[in-house]
Structure 1
Amino acid sequence: MRRTTAHALAALYMLPVAAIGNEDTLTEEVVVSASFTGVTDLMTAPIHVLSGEDVARAGVQSLGEHIDSLVGVSTADFGAAAGQPILRGLSGTRVKVLNNGTVIRDVSGLGPDHAIDAPLSDLQQIEVVRGPSALMYSNGSVGGIVNIVDNTIPMTDLEGFSGFLGAEAQSINDGEAIDLGLRGNVGGFNITYSFQEQDLENYEVPDNAVLHLDEEHDEEHHDEEHHEEDHDEGHHDEHGETGELANSDFESTAHRLGLSTTGDWGYVGVSYSDINTTYGIPFHVEPPGGHDGHEEDHDDEHEEDHEGEHEGENHHDEHGEERVYAETESETLVLRGSINTSLPWLNSIDFAVKDTDYELSEGHMEAEHGDEEHEGEDHDDHEGHGGAEHGPTVFSNESTELQIALDLSSGERIRRLVFNYAEEDMSIIGEEAFMAPVDSTETTLGFFSSDDLGFATLDLGVRFDQIERDGFVSEMHHDEEHGEHEDEHEEEDHDEDHHDEHHEDEMVFEPQSFKEDVFSVAAALSRNLNDYTSVSLGLSSVSKVPSAIELYMNGEHLATNRYEVGDITLDTERADSVDLTFSFEGNGWYGKASVYHNRIDNYIYLRDELDDEHDAHMDDHDGEEEHDDEHHEEEHIDHGGLMLAEYKQRDAEF
């Protein structure tokens, strides 16, 4: 969904003491912090740069929307807040999002409905980097990296005081936003502060707009014309009366505070950021056996008894008034600096220590309606779909990262040696522990070089990763003694709650570890053919180990209506790619053409269960075991009405 704004009002005010922008920045050469060459020739390097001024002028957008106009870049929209970048068809954990050169350790890469935890105000620039230098910052960056560079920790002394104030209004969603910032030097210390607040309501949509939840729905019910008319009428009521897209709202508040001191010896500084967001998730996918299967059950089992209750408005009741949302809270503390040396072989030591406490909560609830319809047995039937309230499911990630980079350059020969160490503690907790805490450690040693060979420039990046994950593989365990105890409790009203609790399946956890040592390499050879034209050839072989959720997940993902299951036996991905790029710039014209081929062995993907597989699964279960509570068993196999999605592997080409 691309956002269309009827009108936007933005104001930017700069105090006259200092200016943030640099009008002398050249088109073909800009300082790119994510590249170890310092000054990068954009004519030949696989790098895109979006300035902070361009970001400010674009107004309130997700990160993906800001950069999706760049060549080879697009975005995966999942509402106003969640817009993940896609680089040459790759996204998720294959595209790493960084803030000032360190990985943003949220859970955005684990689902398209998760927003990236980074405020986009008071930025210096956004960099999209592929090639050898991208290897230095994160393991598994098969698609590349997106680096968000802000001005929170000044690396040079500030002169005087400066500030900015920005405001925006959007009529399409009654939205408003404000951001402000101050920076100055007090007693030899550089101090910065920035604040951003955004409040966007649901998007207005045209009257009679229809939200198609499943493209196959019309085909599957083509012969049921009367039912289809009722279904369409329900959707007509859903959006025609309200005139807005439900769950498309977005609200966020962000604070950033920085402090630094500088000198001939280098600089050192600290920063603190606090980000809180709440946003709706408008695209609520229907599963096989959920929407279609659920309505078939109504037709077959309940139509005679509940025709008046469920006809026509039933779909509207279930989907028109439901609230699907996510809330995030994060705190990040960073210590960063650079120490210059007088050693002939070592120019400087850059270091960063980053501690992040991140939490995302997903919830699904319905407005109170039809209490009479959902009493007793009928209420139990709907419980698999969430009932009045479903969730929340909490994605938690606590991490600490250390990064040390040694500048070994000499003259025009660029040399960097980089060491990274990171610890993560990730868990997903809902009504059950869908993913028990997984402790991950990542140890990396990388090397980057750039040499002028005379006829061309050669960039080389090498990375070694040692990654270990310790967690628990979970599965639902059914107590075989249920049958012996059911008769004792089913007629005792005062023990009904105990019977239900005893009869429920329980999650069983088995400790499992994953450890892998991987190696990645990338090289790029570039040459200027003349003053206007250049050509570059890139080769790379990059490894990506499975993420924690791909290995250990076993539970509900409410926002996407899926029951996701990981696989501890997944192998490491290996992506081998070749890239040939021609660039032209001159006389006010700029153009770039690229041809690339990317082959990924053991490509990991989330595979949805097909309708026929779901039906076969249910048929195979019928008759295996007879229990008095047949609906409970069917609901377990049906994963609570959610679509079963499993992490699988196969070779892929892009």
Structure 2
Amino acid sequence: MKSLLNALLLLAITSIYSQNTFSGKITDSQTSEPLSFVNIYFSDLEKGTVTNENGVFQIENIPTGKHQIIFSMIGYETQSVSINISTETKFEIKLMPTAIEMESIIISTPFHKLQSENVMKVEQKSVKELKSSGAVTLAEGITNIAGVESITTGLSIGKPVIRGLSSNRVLVYTQGIRLENQQYGDEHGLGVNETGIESVEVIKGPASLLYGSDALGGVLYLNPERFANTNSSSGDFGGNYFSNTQGYSTNAGVKVSGDEFKFLFRGSLAEHADYKTNDYRVTNTRFREQDLKAGIAYHNNAFKTEFRYNVNQSKLGIPEDIGIQNTNRMPLLPYQEVTNHVFSSKSTLFFNDSKLDISLGYIYNNRKEFEEHHHDEDEDHHDEDEHDEDEHEEEEHHDEADEILEAALNMKLSTASYDVKYSLPNLGKVETIFGVQGMNQVNANYGEEALIPNATTNDIGVFATSHIHFDKADIQLGARYDNRHLNIENSLNKTFNSFNGALGFKTNITPAITTRVNLATGFRAPNLSELASDGSHGGTNRYEIGNIDLNNEQNFQTDVAFEFKNEHLELFANGFYNTINDYIFLAPTSEIIDEDPVFRYAQEDAKLYGGEFGLHLHPHPLDWIHFESSFAMVTGKQDNGAYLPLIPANNLTNTIRVEFENNSINQGYAFITLRSTFNQNNVSIFETPTGSYNLLSAGLGGNLTLFKNEVSFSLSGTNLTNKTYINHLSRLKPDGIFNMGRNISLAFTYNL
């Protein structure tokens, strides 16, 4: 062991004394004119710069060895180049003009490549793009990605659904670590604010090879905003206003980077009143959210590390029926108070031809639920003329809240996680990564009630994956073993094990046609709620009973993707077939306990199948106009023929988008979108069918100069026809409560 440490130290010291500089010039391939403000980014170093007015750039303190570099600029084709850096390296590159949107590096997959180079299909969208559509929250914004939906309770609570799978079957990553915030419940939101997040990546399908248990259905990967480029600083502040909820969100941030140290800080506040339909406001959908993100990083030519911290505190009303009609923002009883602390560190040691990545995380989640005292008086909840009575009733709600000393539910979850990966030196055309991941998790109850017992969970997983490059094809393969041990208080200990693997193939049939075939297995160990819950859950209005004898869920998915892309037309077709053994679900019984219907956890083999299909047309010579269309479908059934619950309806989205530039506005755009959701008649035995509906949205935005600084703005409207509708994945559907009506949002960001 000592000799191994000495060898690693010697390699590190050797690298430290290699003071390497990477410089060069970037020009237009057609005109040979120099290009300014081109982004140059080392994906493994997370270090970059931009070209000056002469197209020249220079980056210092680069580790010796092979690195992948991304050259990108709006209006030009993104290029990814692998270069061996030694001493002083000069490089000249020509970028090709194109109307195709700029590509970004994919972080959620292990080899950090552009999507065009990836074997696995990954969807990536910037948060700015998702929010420009008028989404109020991040959970709502991700539904603009084909194949992704959200189980919602009003506006404040939303859980991602990927190809029909949700809750613990979809793993969420933030700040480079897995997010653990009691996400098993469909009435528990993400607990992450969109400010300070740069982009969202979605892996559709089993990703247990990369992430272990809970990635059986896919991964939602949230990329935090980057630090500023070396020897630069920036600041910004912005705000959003939403007409429907008379709500707002504000945020401000600052970033400073020197030669070695980097800092960033961002804070935000959001408040919303009850959302409005065409007929009424949905009582107690109001919420308040505060968020703070901070980070510090250190970088030299052989080592980089960063530490990030995020605290998110929210107070979320839990809607039950239509009652008080006003625009106050203070949640009524019942409500949740959720505080989520996320600490993460990510470090990399660079050797000549290899590297060691170490990610550590700690999450402290405190979830409280405060229940309502029941009154016997009858009220007419729909009469808006009784405004004074509504205000009096709301004061009673607030008085009750002041009297409550302890929450009905008070759950504290502490999770420490680690993720260590070693990237071996390339063996010819083969890239290989070995890794070990795990976590220690403690759940504790401090409230009057205990829905799930106190317990400790320990996970460990080891894996290896390789990417093999051939002249006309790429292959990615890997295998993994996981072990999970649960120590449940006053109950049996449980241990779950699983072997999983993945095999993927990508090739360009022609220069314009790419095909991907991925075969993967995944697993999910039953969570604590499914194994041992026994109590009334105020957030769901049901009594839940766990099953200590549940087995692992185990799945196998086949995913086939075809893409056609030329300068003016893009087509894609992604199909999947997913079989899941021992699928876990809640089934209603005829029992009633404490006035709540009883639901028990059960298992049955199941399958899901469907896909996403679409096109993007930007015809020559009208490259400034874009027509985009996408269709997503999924069917979920148990082997006994019964349909699975909470499967999203098929939907079709059509968008016309124009881009423009003038003397006042740059990167200007305008769009109009029609989203058509079809009937959902394939429902489980305790669901009802949901009707079809069409939602019309539109917006515009761009950048302009104000007081010598750039300001970005957007104006957008959703559900412009004020359609009354119910989404099949709304938890308010059983009560016949509509989703949100027309909303106009105005947003701006001022860059200092």
TM > 0.5 between the two?
Answer: yes
SS at match of 1:400: strand
Matching of residue 35 in structure 1 with residue 125 in structure 2: no
CA–CA distance in structure 1, aligned partners of residues 121 and 414 of structure 2: 32
Check the 8 A contact 1:101/1:137 in 2, yes or no: no
Aligned counterpart, 1:195: 267
Per-residue CA distance 1:174-213 (angstroms, 9 max, x = gap): 1011011100036842110011110011112334xxxxxx
SS at match of 2:181: coil
Measured at CA, do residues 269 and 101 of structure 1 come closer, stay the same or move farther in structure 2, by a change above 3 Å?
closer
Task: Give the drift of 1:168.
Answer: 0.6
CA–CA distance in structure 2, aligned partners of residues 116 and 558 of structure 1: 19
Aligned counterpart, 1:536: 516
Matching of residue 105 in structure 1 with residue 142 in structure 2: no
Matching of residue 439 in structure 1 with residue 463 in structure 2: no
Task: Give the drift of 1:369.
Answer: 7.0
Please, which of 397, 408, 411 is the counterpart of residue 413 of structure 2?
397
Instruction: Pick the structure with more strand per residue.
Output: 2
Task: Give the drift of 1:440.
Answer: 0.1
Matching of residue 93 in structure 1 with residue 168 in structure 2: yes
Check the 8 A contact 2:206/2:217 in 1, yes or no: no
Please, which of 574, 599, 605 is the counterpart of residue 554 of structure 2?
574
Aligned counterpart, 1:423: 440
Show the 5 A alignment for 1:346-361: 347-361=354-368
Check the 8 A contact 1:121/1:179 in 2, yes or no: yes
CA–CA distance in structure 2, aligned partners of residues 403 and 521 of structure 1: 19
- Give the partner amino acid of 2:268: Q
Check the 8 A contact 2:307/2:346 in 1, yes or no: yes
Check the 8 A contact 2:130/2:142 in 1, yes or no: no
CA–CA distance in structure 1, aligned partners of residues 601 and 167 of structure 2: 14
Check the 8 A contact 1:131/1:538 in 2, yes or no: no
Show the 5 A alignment for 1:4-83: 23=74, 26=78, 27=101, 29-42=103-116, 45-58=120-133, 61-83=136-158
Measured at CA, do residues 336 and 143 of structure 1 come closer, stay the same or move farther in structure 2, by a change above 3 Å?
same
SS at match of 1:568: coil
Task: Give the drift of 1:99.
Answer: 0.9
Measured at CA, do residues 367 and 162 of structure 1 come closer, stay the same or move farther in structure 2, by a change above 3 Å?
farther
Deviates more, 1:92-101 or 1:122-131: 122-131
Matching of residue 652 in structure 1 with residue 606 in structure 2: yes
CA–CA distance in structure 2, aligned partners of residues 364 and 542 of structure 1: 38
Task: Give the drift of 1:423.
Answer: 0.4
Please, which of 323, 335, 358 is the counterpart of residue 325 of structure 1?
335
Aligned counterpart, 2:487: 470
CA–CA distance in structure 2, aligned partners of residues 368 and 283 of structure 1: 14
Per-residue CA distance 1:131-177 (angstroms, 9 max, x = gap): 6866312323111101001036x4x8533210121101111111011
CA–CA distance in structure 1, aligned partners of residues 134 and 276 of structure 2: 19
- Give the partner amino acid of 2:369: E
Check the 8 A contact 2:206/2:218 in 1, yes or no: no
CA–CA distance in structure 1, aligned partners of residues 256 and 332 of structure 2: 48
Percent of aligned positions with the same letter in both sequences? Answer: 19
Show the 5 A alignment for 1:84-483: 84-108=159-183, 110-130=184-204, 135-151=209-225, 154=227, 158-185=230-257, 188-207=260-279, 243-282=280-319, 323-342=333-352, 344=353, 347-366=354-373, 370=377, 392-410=408-426, 412-428=429-445, 430-472=447-489
SS at match of 1:31: coil
Unaligned segments of structure 2, at least 5 residues? 1-48, 52-71, 79-100, 324-330, 379-399, 609-752
CA–CA distance in structure 1, aligned partners of residues 318 and 431 of structure 2: 46
Matching of residue 605 in structure 1 with residue 585 in structure 2: yes
CA–CA distance in structure 2, aligned partners of residues 67 and 260 of structure 1: 29
Check the 8 A contact 2:413/2:444 in 1, yes or no: yes
Check the 8 A contact 2:205/2:557 in 1, yes or no: no
Measured at CA, do residues 131 and 436 of structure 1 come closer, stay the same or move farther in structure 2, by a change above 3 Å?
closer
Instruction: State how many pairs are aligned.
Output: 486
Task: Give the drift of 1:396.
Answer: 2.0
- Give the partner amino acid of 1:442: D
- Give the partner amino acid of 1:426: N
Check the 8 A contact 1:256/1:272 in 2, yes or no: yes
Task: Give the drift of 1:456.
Answer: 2.3
Deviates more, 1:180-189 or 1:523-532: 180-189
CA–CA distance in structure 2, aligned partners of residues 456 and 248 of structure 1: 51
CA–CA distance in structure 2, aligned partners of residues 397 and 470 of structure 1: 14
Task: Give the drift of 1:455.
Answer: 4.2
CA–CA distance in structure 1, aligned partners of residues 585 and 373 of structure 2: 31
Task: Give the drift of 1:129.
Answer: 1.5
Check the 8 A contact 2:208/2:216 in 1, yes or no: no
Task: Give the drift of 1:254.
Answer: 0.6
Show the 5 A alignment for 1:607-622: 607-609=587-589, 613-614=590-591
Per-residue CA distance 1:440-487 (angstroms, 9 max, x = gap): 000011112111244421111322111000013xxxxxxxxxxxxxxx
Task: Give the drift of 1:73.
Answer: 1.5
- Give the partner amino acid of 2:245: N
CA–CA distance in structure 2, aligned partners of residues 341 and 133 of structure 1: 28
Show the 5 A alignment for 1:483-498: none
Per-residue CA distance 1:300-328 (angstroms, 9 max, x = gap): xxxxxxxxxxxxx9xxxxxxx97332110
Check the 8 A contact 2:212/2:482 in 1, yes or no: no
- Give the partner amino acid of 2:161: I
CA–CA distance in structure 2, aligned partners of residues 402 and 73 of structure 1: 28
SS at match of 1:54: helix
Measured at CA, do residues 589 and 249 of structure 1 come closer, stay the same or move farther in structure 2, by a change above 3 Å?
farther
Aligned counterpart, 2:495: 515
CA–CA distance in structure 1, aligned partners of residues 321 and 168 of structure 2: 22
Measured at CA, do residues 341 and 186 of structure 1 come closer, stay the same or move farther in structure 2, by a change above 3 Å?
closer
CA–CA distance in structure 2, aligned partners of residues 584 and 282 of structure 1: 46
CA–CA distance in structure 2, aligned partners of residues 22 and 113 of structure 1: 41
CA–CA distance in structure 2, aligned partners of residues 129 and 22 of structure 1: 25
- Give the partner amino acid of 1:165: F
Aligned counterpart, 1:300: none
Task: Give the drift of 1:430.
Answer: 4.1
Deviates more, 1:442-451 or 1:24-33: 24-33
SS at match of 2:191: coil
Task: Give the drift of 1:341.
Answer: 1.3
CA–CA distance in structure 2, aligned partners of residues 326 and 340 of structure 1: 45
Deviates more, 1:593-602 or 1:186-195: 186-195
Instruction: Pick the structure with more helix per residue.
Output: 1
Check the 8 A contact 1:605/1:648 in 2, yes or no: yes
Check the 8 A contact 2:235/2:254 in 1, yes or no: yes
Check the 8 A contact 2:357/2:422 in 1, yes or no: yes
Q: Tell me the TM-score normalised to structure 2 length.
A: 0.61
SS at match of 1:365: coil
Check the 8 A contact 2:505/2:516 in 1, yes or no: yes
- Give the partner amino acid of 1:138: G
Unaligned segments of structure 1, at least 5 residues? 1-17, 208-242, 286-312, 314-320, 372-385, 473-509, 615-637
Check the 8 A contact 2:443/2:456 in 1, yes or no: yes
Check the 8 A contact 2:464/2:479 in 1, yes or no: yes
Measured at CA, do residues 165 and 28 of structure 1 come closer, stay the same or move farther in structure 2, by a change above 3 Å?
closer
Measured at CA, do residues 590 and 528 of structure 1 come closer, stay the same or move farther in structure 2, by a change above 3 Å?
same
SS at match of 1:32: coil
Check the 8 A contact 1:551/1:567 in 2, yes or no: yes
SS at match of 2:371: strand
- Give the partner amino acid of 1:99: T
Per-residue CA distance 1:194-251 (angstroms, 9 max, x = gap): 11110011112334xxxxxxxxxxxxxxxxxxxxxxxxxxxxxxxxxxx411011121
